[in-house]
Amino acid sequence: MIMSRTKFKLFFMSMSLFAALSACENDDKPAPVTEVLAVKSITPASGLAGTKVVITGTKFDPTPANNVVLFNTTPATVTAATATTLETTVPVGATTGLITVTTGGTTVKSATPFTVSDRATVDVTGEIKTNTTWTANNVYVLKGFVYVTAGNTLTIEKGTIIKGAGKEADPKAQGQGGSLIIEAGAKIMAVGTAEQPIVFTSSKEPGQRNYGDWGGVVLIGKAPHNQAGSKGPEGGIRGGTTNAGLGTDNIADDNSGTLQYVRIEFAGIALSNTANSEINGLTLYAVGSGTTIDHVQVSYSGDDSFEWFGGTVNSKYLVAYRGYDDDWDTDWGFTGKVQYALSLRDPEYADQSASNGFESDNFNSGEPATGPNAGLPLTAPVFANVSNLVTSGTPSNATIKGSGGYQAGMHLRRNTSISILNSLFVGYPEGLRLDGTATGTYTNATKGTLDLRGIVLANNTLPVTGKGEITDAQATAYFNTAARKNEVKDLASLLLNTANFTLTAPGLLPQATSPLLTGAVWDGKGADAYFTKETFRGAFGTTDWTKGWTNWDPQNTIYK
């Protein structure tokens, strides 16, 4: 059949249009993606020989034998495989290091090391309802709130490692990170040694840890506090023996157990969106003087390092290291005693609430003359030989990487009667902030129930300031009263160790001719027999009591 010229033109045009559209369609299609071999994650990131490990990645061979896996340099057998996962077990003889995967002639390594442990991992959830011992041959992982219930004792062997899992580890646990809570009537016996301290730390791997990776350690006792008996702990932590609140047992010598040579790292989180619903590195509610607490280091707390809510417990040798908010927070009628305490701060990190060395008050709402737990004292602890060190440079503002700035070495407010003796504060914008009413905080100061003696301030923009109804002149006159022997000094004149502010290897002892080695005052509340009557001011004389049990680089420590 012969096609007419018109039909031929129409046919030619339609074929040309089809070809053009086809070309455009082909041009719009993306080039095929070639998957490259990669290791994305390793679960778990540590374990004993024989532990099952799942390697997640790309472009694995679905035939197990076609994939070669090395734990550091030790070969492992692949037992199951898909294009995106390999299952294997930690081989005998493996050592800590990167995992290497070879598939189809291509070799890649994991981004982070796998830690070969000599301890089994034990997950801990819910309630501990019997006397229980945690042993050093295991690593314990706290998931959600773990309560030691009334009448029971948790014993932790020296050298034991406890890891707090983050919020993501237990979505059903009200969204909190792992926390250990010793309820009223329960005890913890965590007795480490300088050579084998007990360590509570993040469950994350070295280099990935951060402020507030988990909750923290909480002790609840039956000692006096000045809140209503129905008042419970912050953030949904249940309270005393009835779990309805802290109660009003008022047992001054109540015993919640022992914490000795213990480190708490990367704890401290907000428990809800409500104000004042945080958990600290170490939180103490109504803990009594029968409890023993000494040689405790809290590092990288996402909230306060130490906070006392009422109670009478005494402590010695405390370290607050690179905390985010306050170091020593005292509330609700705490009346215990503390001697030898060090705070070493990162000048680049502080909280939006304005971080202080001491924050001391009674109630968030103000300054009542007595607490609702009738007849019980307001906050009146005594601290001695404290060193709070922020920086050796200009007074710190900490807006570089933190959420806020530093405020004061001592923020004393809301009718507190705290006393601080023979202590050193360096690098805060304000040394002392005396805050409150003329009939509250200021009266406590002038009549001596709030007592500051042997204090040395250095490197402050405003050494002393008054707030509320207290003027700067009144606060300064109080601080400078001759009998108190307080001083504002030039930093260089203190003759501190040149490594004093080195965060990862601090040299904490003053030089041999430092004026800090003399001048201590033990009048007034300092006459209490609890205190060793040292001649020096600050936390250190000629002995560095942090040696051996502290850790100045927990970010990179391999716990296995």
Beta strands in 115-203 (DSSP E): 115-116, 120-124, 127-128, 132-134, 138-142, 145-148, 153-156, 161-164, 179-182, 187-191, 198-202
For 38-116, the fitting CATH number among 2.30.330.10, 3.40.50.10480, 2.60.40.10, 3.50.50.60 is: 2.60.40.10
Residue 469 has pLDDT above 60, yes or no: yes
Rounded mean pLDDT, 221-240: 88
Band of pLDDT at residue 32, cut at 50, 70 and 90: very low
pLDDT above 90: percentage of residues in the chain: 72
- Verify cis geometry, omega within 30 degrees of 0, for the bond prior to 75: no
Please report, as a single letter, which amino acid is at residue 70. L
**Can you give the pLDDT at residue 373?**
59
Give the span between the Cα atoms of 319 and 335, in whole angstroms. 20
Vertex 283: Cα angle to 282 and 285 (nearest 5)? 150
Give the span between the Cα atoms of 263 and 265, in whole angstroms. 6
Please report, as a single letter, which amino acid is at residue 414. R
Task: Report helix, strand or coil for 15.
Answer: helix
DSSP-assigned states of every residue in 449-511: SSEEES-EEES-SEEEEEEET--HHHHHHHHT-GGG--EEE-GGGG---TTTT-SSS---SPP
DSSP-assigned states of every residue in 379-403: S--EEEEEEEE--SSSPP--TTTSS
Global pTM?
A: 0.83
CA proximity to 453, closest of 419, 430, 488, 418: 419
Tens of pLDDT, residue by residue over 92-131, are: 999 999 999 999 999 999 998 898 888 888 999 999 999 9
Pairing of strands 99-103, 106-109: antiparallel
**Can you give the pLDDT at residue 550?**
98
Phi-psi region at 235: left, alpha or beta (left = phi > 0; alpha = psi -120 to 50): left
Residue 173 has pLDDT above 60, yes or no: no
Residue 7 has pLDDT above 50, yes or no: no
**Can you give the pLDDT at residue 376?**
72
What are the residue ranges spanned by the domains of the chain? Answer: 38-116, 119-324, 340-541
Tens of pLDDT, residue by residue over 409-441, are: 999 999 999 999 999 999 999 999 999 999 999
